[in-house]
Structure 1
Amino acid sequence: MRVFPRKRLFILLIGIIILVGLIGYSLQDRENETIVEQFVKDTVGWAQNLVHTPVDYVTGIFENIDDIKNTYEENKILRENIAEYKSLQYEVQELKEENEELRNTIDKTESIRDYNPVQATVISRSPERWIEQVTINKGSQDGVEENMAVITADGMIGKVESESKFTSSVKLLTGFDQFNRISAKVSREGDDDVIGMIEGYDQETNQLMFRVVEESDFDLEEGELVLSSGMGGVFPAGLPIGEVKEVKPDEYGLTRTAFVEPVADMYDINNVIVVERQGPDNDASGESEEAES
Structure 2
Amino acid sequence: MPRFFSNKRLILLLVGVIFLVALISFSLRDRQHASLPEQIVKDVVGFGQSLFSKPAHYITNVIGNIDGILNTYEENKQLKARLDEYAASQSALVDVENENKRLREIIGKEDNLRAYEPIQATVISRNPDQWEEKIIIDKGEEHGIEKNMAVMTATGLIGKVILVTPFTSTIELLSTENRNFRVAAVIPGETEVFGLIEGYDSKRGELIMKRIDSSFEVEVGQQVISSGLGGIFPKGLPIGEVTEVSTDDFGLTKLTYIRPAADFVMLDHVMVAKRQTRPFTEGSDGDNTAEGEDGS
Fold conserved between structures, TM > 0.5: yes
- SS of 2:62's equivalent in the other structure is helix
Q: 1:128 to 1:56 in 2, by over 3 A?
A: farther
The one-character-per-residue Cα deviations of 1:38-69 (angstroms, maximum 9, x if unpaired) are 44333322221111111111111222233233
Q: Match for residue 102 of structure 1?
A: 103
Q: Is the 8 A contact 2:186 2:224 kept in 1?
A: yes
Matched residue type, 1:265: D
Calculate percent identity across the aligned residue pairs: 45
- SS of 2:65's equivalent in the other structure is helix
- SS of 2:259's equivalent in the other structure is strand
Structure 1: state its 5+ residue gaps.
Answer: none
Distance 1:264 1:23 in 2: 104
Q: Match for residue 114 of structure 2?
A: 113
Q: Match for residue 65 of structure 1?
A: 66
Does residue 128 of structure 2 align to residue 130 of structure 1?
A: no
Q: Match for residue 279 of structure 2?
A: 282
Q: Match for residue 235 of structure 1?
A: 233
Per the normalisation by structure 2, the TM-score is 0.84
Distance 2:141 2:89 in 1: 38
Q: Is the 8 A contact 2:184 2:292 kept in 1?
A: no
Shift of residue 74, structure 1, vs aligned partner: 3.5
The one-character-per-residue Cα deviations of 1:110-166 (angstroms, maximum 9, x if unpaired) are 211212322111122334433332211001222222232110111111122322110
Q: Is the 8 A contact 2:241 2:260 kept in 1?
A: yes
Q: Match for residue 54 of structure 1?
A: 55
Q: Is the 8 A contact 1:194 1:216 kept in 2?
A: no
Corresponding residue to 2:257 among 256, 259, 265: 259
Q: Within 5 Å, which residues of 2 pair with 1:31-46?
A: 36-46=37-47
- SS of 2:270's equivalent in the other structure is strand
Shift of residue 186, structure 1, vs aligned partner: 0.6
Q: Within 5 Å, which residues of 2 pair with 1:1-293?
A: 3-29=4-30, 36-189=37-190, 192-218=191-217, 220-279=218-277, 282-284=279-281, 292=293
Per the normalisation by structure 1, the TM-score is 0.85
Q: 1:158 to 1:5 in 2, by over 3 A?
A: farther
Shift of residue 12, structure 1, vs aligned partner: 3.0
User: When the two structures are aligned, how many residues end up with a matched partner?
Assistant: 289
RMSD: 2.9
Shift of residue 241, structure 1, vs aligned partner: 0.7
